[in-house]
Structure 1
Amino acid sequence: MRQAHSPNADYHTPRIARMLAWCAVLAIAVILSAQPTLAQTEPSTSTDATTTADAPAATTESASRPRGSVTNLPIPRFVSLKANEANLRRGPSLSHRIDWVLKRRGYPLEVIAEYGHWRRVRDIDDATGWIHYTLISGVRTALVSAEMVDLHRRPLQTSAVVAQAEKGTVLRLLECERAWCRASAGGYKGWVAKTGIWGVYPAETLE
């Protein structure tokens, strides 16, 4: 016995299948649209900006110094000028008078106080003023304070001299031991005695 064939059966079956398929697609779309959107976000820098801009390189001597109320970094500490030109003001705001204008990128400065986004700094000649924290960097440099210093191959007075630097030369500090710092300037690298430079503390070691 054969089942009677309905002429409408072949017409309705694919149509129903198509409707079910569309319903399944719509259901999946609704589920996906309900899922939360994930986006990669960067950590807020509203707090870190004031603490990392002038953060010094790792040092083993800073633990003995008090901490700044704004950055929790050692006070005093050495930093360097990030900009090609910067104003030193009488107080910590743009409304205060400009006392000094610094025009030497990399020039070493000593932070001696903090207030909000401002740092009070001192230079080698004991001139002081307030500078915005974005204009200084934790990159360590030093100024040759002696008439002439030798850059040695090793941290020994008897070691070979690879270069000499005159008074006023800015050196980039690479590392420091108790009595010596490894520095670079003008394409030369060598060890210089701390006694001939300004920008590092006598007992400070820099890694």
Structure 2
Amino acid sequence: MRILLPALILLAAPAAAQTAAAPATEAATPTNKDALKYRSGLPVPRFASLRAGRAYMRAGPGKEYPVTWVFVQPGTPLEVVSEWNVWRKVKDADGTEGWMDRAMLSTDRSIQITKQTRELRARPDLSAPIVLRAEPGVVMRVTMCADRWCRVEGQGRSGYLLREHGFGVYPNEPIG
């Protein structure tokens, strides 16, 4: 079971990311008539964010399936790749897939910093002053995206981030 711990927004040197991993098991996508019962009507795939402070990712669409991951950071972006009844098959920033109850997800948009410490700018321009740095794993709320840039905020701070520096928004997807 993997527990994702919140990362900190940095103004200086990055700290080490804190995660503990365990192997995940794969489950087949169900195909019976209940699959359409609680469809959201929203496009699939799409991004959502974690609503709860603690949410279980399961190997299949039901409480009888084993928990493969535990998410503990509200706002974590997840890509919804399939729907079945009240269950949503989701993928995280690492590419791990599993099933979550729809009640654990929100339509609020967020972005998770990926690969390395990233610089957030005062304006959507590479020559704009750096307002803060965020380490991999930091999750921030997305307030708008246009062109290559997204305006993001977290812990009372905001700035502009190149959309390719995070997981949670599609290329060229307008937000806000």
1-structure distance, mates of 2:161, 2:115: 11
Letter in 1 for 2:110: T
Give 2:93's aligned residue. 124
What SS does the aligned partner of 1:203 have? coil
* Larger CA Rg, structure 1 vs 2: 1
User: 2:49 is paired with a residue of what secondary structure?
Assistant: strand
Gaps of 5+ in 2: 1-34
How many residues of Structure 1 are paired with residues of Structure 2 in the alignment? Answer: 140
**TM-score normalised by structure 1 residue count:** 0.65
Q: Which has the higher strand share?
A: 2
TM-fit CA distance, 1:148: 1.5
**Equivalence for 1:111:** 80
SS in 2 for 1:204: coil
- Alignment RMSD (CA, Å): 1.4
Q: Deviations over 1:134-155 (max 9, x none)?
A: 1110111111003111111111
Corresponding residue of 2:152: 183
Match of 1:99 in 2: 68
**Are 2:172 and 1:203 equivalent residues in the alignment?**
yes
Instruction: Report the CA distance between 1:123 and its aligned residue.
Output: 0.4
Give the alignment of 1:13-92 within 5 angstroms. Answer: 70-92=39-61
**Structure 1 unaligned regions, length at least 5:** 1-67
Q: Deviations over 1:78-102 (max 9, x none)?
A: 1111111111111111111212111
- Matches of 2:147 and 2:80 in 1, distance apart? 22
Cα distance between partner residues in 1 of 2:138 and 2:69: 20
Distance 1:101 1:146 in 2: 21
Tell me which of 144, 162, 169 is aligned to 2:131: 162
Following TM superposition, where does structure 1 have runs of at least 4 consecutive aligned residues deviating by more than 4 angstroms?
none
Q: TM-score, normalised by structure 2?
A: 0.76
Residue of structure 1 equivalent to 2:122: 153
Greater relative CO, 1 or 2 (CA 8 Å, sep 6+) = 2
2:32 matched residue in structure 1: none
